[in-house]
C-alpha cells in the first residue's frame, strides 16, 4: 500500500484529530453496552468512566441509516489495508451505531451487532485549536498535554469528533515525521487530494523540522495535520485504533 504521507513534505501538511467519546453506562438487553453521549465540544471533564466502546468489523457489512433501514454501500472490514476499528456512539438491542473513517468527515452508520466484535479503550485525544495543544487522557486522568502545530488559516484543521483510524509506520522518518503517523478519520475541508490520491486525511505526526516554530505554545503552520515535538509523539505510541480524537475550537 503506498503511503498517504510520502509526498506531504512538499505540501507541509500536518495532522489533526478530534474526538467524541461515549461512556459506558449500562448493559442493554441485547448484551451491547448502552452509551451515554457526551458533549463533544468540551475540553473537559473527561466523559463518564472515561471508556469508549469499539467495534471491530469482521467482514464487509451492510450499512444502515437506522436499525432495520438499509443505506447505500457497505462498511469495509479494512481501510487502506488496516483493520476497521470504529468507536460506538449509540446502541440498540442487536445494533450498534459507529463512526466511520471514510469521507465525508464525521460519517456514521448503524450495524448489526452480530457483524462486529466489541472491545473498549480508555484513551482519548483532545486537540484544542484555540490553545494549539494536544492532550491525551487515559480514563479520568490527563496523561500529558503538549504544544501542537495545527492547520494555517487557509488550510485549517477541521473541528469535529473523529478517531484514530490506524497507525502507519513513518514513510520518511529522517524528514521529521517520527517513527509513526496516527491517521485519523478527519479529512481536510480545504484540500481534496494529496498528490492525486483522491483523499486528504488528517494525521498526527512529528514536526517536519519545525520544532522551533511549534515551540512551547504551538503554531498555525500546517495544511491541516497535527505536528508534535517527537517526545510528545512517542507518548502516543500505545494509543490503539478507534481511540476518539476530539478537535475543538
Residues 14 and 75 in one domain: no
Q: What is the CATH number of the domain that holds 102?
A: 2.30.30
Listed in sequence order, the DSSP H helices in 7-155 are: 8-11
d(CA 127, CA 141): 16
Measuring CA to CA, which residue among 203, 227, 205 is closest to residue 215?
227
Domain count, the chain: 2
Chosen domain end from 63, 93, 121: 121
Residues 94 and 170 in one domain: no
Q: Is residue 145 part of a domain?
A: yes
Q: Is residue 2 part of a domain?
A: no
Residues 171 and 208 in one domain: yes
Listed in sequence order, the DSSP H helices in 101-209 are: none
Residues 132 and 14 in one domain: yes
Residues 110 and 150 in one domain: no
Measuring CA to CA, which residue among 140, 160, 134, 132 is closest to residue 233?
134
Residues 128 and 106 in one domain: no
Tens digit of pLDDT at every position of the chain (249 positions): 334 444 333 333 323 322 322 322 222 223 444 443 333 333 333 445 789 999 999 999 999 999 999 999 999 999 999 999 999 999 999 999 999 999 888 999 999 999 999 999 999 999 999 999 999 999 989 999 999 999 999 999 999 999 999 999 987 666 789 999 999 999 988 776 555 555 689 999 999 999 999 999 999 999 899 999 999 999 999 999 999 999 999
Amino acid at each position: 500500500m503506498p503511503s498517504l504521507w510520502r509526498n506531504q513534505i512538499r505540501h507541509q501538511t500536518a495532522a489533526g484529530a478530534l474526538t467524541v467519546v461515549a461512556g459506558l453506562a449500562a448493559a442493554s438487553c441485547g448484551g451491547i453496552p448502552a452509551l451515554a453521549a457526551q458533549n463533544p465540544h468540551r475540553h473537559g471533564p473527561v466523559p463518564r468512566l472515561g471508556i469508549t466502546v469499539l467495534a471491530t468489523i469482521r467482514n464487509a457489512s451492510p450499512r444502515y441509516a437506522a436499525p432495520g433501514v438499509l443505506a447505500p454501500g457497505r462498511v469495509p472490514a479494512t481501510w487502506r489495508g488496516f483493520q476497521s476499528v470504529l468507536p460506538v456512539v449509540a446502541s440498540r438491542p442487536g445494533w450498534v451505531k459507529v463512526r466511520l473513517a471514510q469521507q465525508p468527515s464525521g460519517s456514521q452508520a448503524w450495524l448489526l451487532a452480530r457483524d462486529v466484535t466489541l472491545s473498549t479503550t480508555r484513551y482519548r485525544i483532545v486537540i484544542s485549536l484555540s490553545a494549539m495543544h494536544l492532550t491525551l487522557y487515559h480514563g479520568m486522568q490527563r496523561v500529558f498535554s503538549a504544544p501542537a502545530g495545527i492547520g494555517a488559516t487557509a488550510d485549517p484543521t477541521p473541528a469535529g469528533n473523529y478517531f484514530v483510524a490506524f497507525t502507519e509506520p513513518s514513510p520518511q522518518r529522517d524528514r521529521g515525521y517520527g517513527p509513526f503517523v496516527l491517521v485519523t478519520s478527519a479529512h481536510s475541508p480545504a484540500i481534496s487530494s494529496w498528490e492525486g490520491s483522491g483523499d486528504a486525511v488528517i494525521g498526527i505526526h512529528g514536526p517536519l523540522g519545525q520544532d522551533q516554530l511549534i515551540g512551547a505554545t504551538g503554531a498555525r503552520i500546517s495544511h491541516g495535520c497535527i505536528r508534535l515535538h517527537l517526545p510528545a509523539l512517542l507518548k502516543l505510541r500505545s494509543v490503539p485504533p478507534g481511540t476518539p480524537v476530539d478537535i475543538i475550537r
